[in-house]
Amino acid sequence: MHQNNLLPQNDLLQQVSHKTEEHEFYNPLPEGYQKGKTKYVVVCGTVMSGLGKGIFAASLAKLLQLKGLKVTCMKFDGYLNQDAGTLNPYRHGEVFVLDDGTESDMDLGTYERFLGISLTKHNYLTGGKIFSQILNHERQGNYLGRDVQFIPHVTGEIKRFVRTLAVNSGADIVFIEVGGTVGDIENNYFIEAMRELQYEEGRENLCHVALTYVLEPGFLGEQKSKAAQLGLRTLMAMGIQPDIIACRADREVVAKVREKISQSANVPFERVVSVHDCESIYLIPSLLEKAQLDLQTISHLRLQERIQENPIAREQWSTYVQKTLSIKEEKEKENEITVGMLGKYTALRDSYASIIKALEHAGTHLGVRVQQKWIDTTELSTERVAEELNDVQGIIVPGAFGSRGAEGKIQSIRYARENNVPFLGLCYGFQMAVIEYARNVCGLQEANTTEIEVSCTHPVIDILPEQKGIVTLGGNMRLGGHDVEIKSGSIAAELYGNISARERFRHRWECNPAYIQQLEANGLFFSGKAPGREIMQILELPREKHAYFVATQAHPEFTSQPLKPNPLYLGFVEACVKRLREEEKER
């Protein structure tokens, strides 16, 4: 009797959503939305954060993409920041920039790399963003005099956001990652919205996946499931019955532990799977495929008729994964290069997640393993630079803001330039390279950036004209994808195979146009610029002067993908390999 009453009530939701009479439903539907056309997979976490919900979601989405389904992913973050732009990397990891300029969580980078798609602001929602929208709607009178509440208005706007992505993307499946951990106050309303979404869409149109953590205390020497069971009970107490449970652990979760979790959470044993640590995150899809999670998801969502296998895409992906694995398993040092990573967030590797992945993409393409040597430039003295960089085949100076560690970076760039060590500068690294060249080649000893020294004698790096007068943080930088006009005959043109490219940016300061002529007269070559503007975006030294000295105001790591390494990274790793071969000959 209860089952039969649900169907007309769900139909009623769509009818009353456009009426003005008093009722308890608030269910705004975007134009063109059709129930059942798009299916949903919701991924939540229990026990602890940092389980890899984004990697899991991207991996399962990849499997379904290889079966010919159109997929997209979105992320909910509960914090009250409107986006990730003002978050310290030590607290939140890398800020990933989308092509439309959205500063997002690093998981969106994982989605783009796995799926080979470009995401937008419609794929990312924070608590601050949704509350800002709701308060704007309230001020405009859009809630028709109602007292605005978490239920139904906050949850209703979240569902509107989800369904709008479904319509705009035309996806067969939208994967929704709920950030944080079940039980966090800041994600309760997101979880409630997902409960309501299943209630309205029907169980066959939404699949709930719970990631949990199976503990294995060293002093016990065995896996324990109680924490996982309690976390799942908390989720169930919020009205969500998991359809699939993914058990994270250091090693494969044994059958008896999965049986306990299965029984405790009312989930069939075959849908409680081990997602243990692997050599590479790109092995996770095959791990899930072995557990038949792709087939389980397709069956639950009744998507069998939409399957169209893509053997070419599957072969390309499989080849990349196998090559990655073989490189990681290779023990010989002759196929391993070491790259010096010079930054100030080196204590947290997640701060440079996309750079690490871009190096891996390029290394896999060239058949070499890329190791990183993490060097904190905050305390790096001039005397120690040679010692720290003596055993690396190349250096990267990544993006940053502020003065901390700047002088150490400048001295390291000088060492790389004078000793023919391959160098790749990224955003702030581009700016530091300009300062180094101005000081030590052009003779402008007091050259600096106005970000560090406002009234410096030679401001070779100055704030962008459109940024002057802006005092607030967040959303006021040159952000997102921009075209780059590349000079023919340059290293950049050779690497891109074109005289134009598109990269993603995140900066307020630029090379001061007043110093461009002097810098170029002394041998620095600006090979890329903004079309129609004197905003320098790529600099380089000719090959006859240096093995590889290239810097860009962009963040090319954001556009690198497993099957399509970014050209600037590819050129850099290739130069590092060449240096390694030269070192081997000298030995």
Task: Give the type of residue at 472.
Answer: T
Q: Which whole-number Å values give the CA distances from 288 to 73, 129, 248, 476, in the listed order?
A: 18, 33, 12, 41
The radius of gyration computed from the CA coordinates of the chain, to the nearest angstrom, equals: 26
Q: Residue 213: name the closest of 166, 177, 245 by CA.
A: 245
Strand, coil or helix: 466: helix
What is the b/e burial string over 130-149, where b = at least 16 CB atoms within 10 angstroms of the residue's CB? beeebeeeeeeeebeeeeee
Task: Give the type of residue at 405.
Answer: G
Q: Residue 392: name the closest of 572, 576, 582 by CA.
A: 576
Q: Please give the backbone phi and psi of residue 208, each rounded to the nearest 5 degrees, phi first.
A: -95, 125
* CB contact set of 468 (below 8 Å; sequence gap of 6+): none
- For the annotated catalytic residues, the residue numbers are 427, 555, 557
Q: Residue 413: name the closest of 545, 544, 535, 551 by CA.
A: 551
Instruction: Say how far apart CA 116 and CA 565 lie, in whole Å.
Output: 11
Instruction: Say how far apart CA 317 and CA 295 lie, in whole Å.
Output: 19
Residue 314 burial (10 A CB sphere; 0-12, 13-18, 19+): middle
Helix or strand holding residue 155 (H, E): helix 155-169
The string of DSSP codes covering 259-300 is HHHHHHHT--GGGEEEEE--S-GGGHHHHHHHTTHHHHHHHH
CB atoms within 10 A of CB 390: 11
Contact yes or no for 164/133 (Cβ under 8 A): no
The tokens 């007292």 sit on which residue? Answer: 147
CB atoms within 10 A of CB 538: 30
Classify residue 77 by its DSSP letter.
E
Contact yes or no for 370/573 (Cβ under 8 A): yes
Instruction: Say how far apart CA 526 and CA 546 lie, in whole Å.
Output: 15
* CB contact set of 474 (below 8 Å; sequence gap of 6+): 81, 82, 83, 85, 86, 103
CB atoms within 10 A of CB 217: 9
Which regions of 78-205 does DSSP assign to beta strands (E)? 96-97, 103-104, 124-126, 173-178
Angle between the N-to-C axes of helices 155-169 and 127-139, in degrees from 0 to 180, rounded to the nearest 10: 100
CB atoms within 10 A of CB 500: 12
Q: Which whole-number Å values give the CA distances from 176 to 46, 110, 114, 204, in the listed order?
A: 16, 14, 15, 16
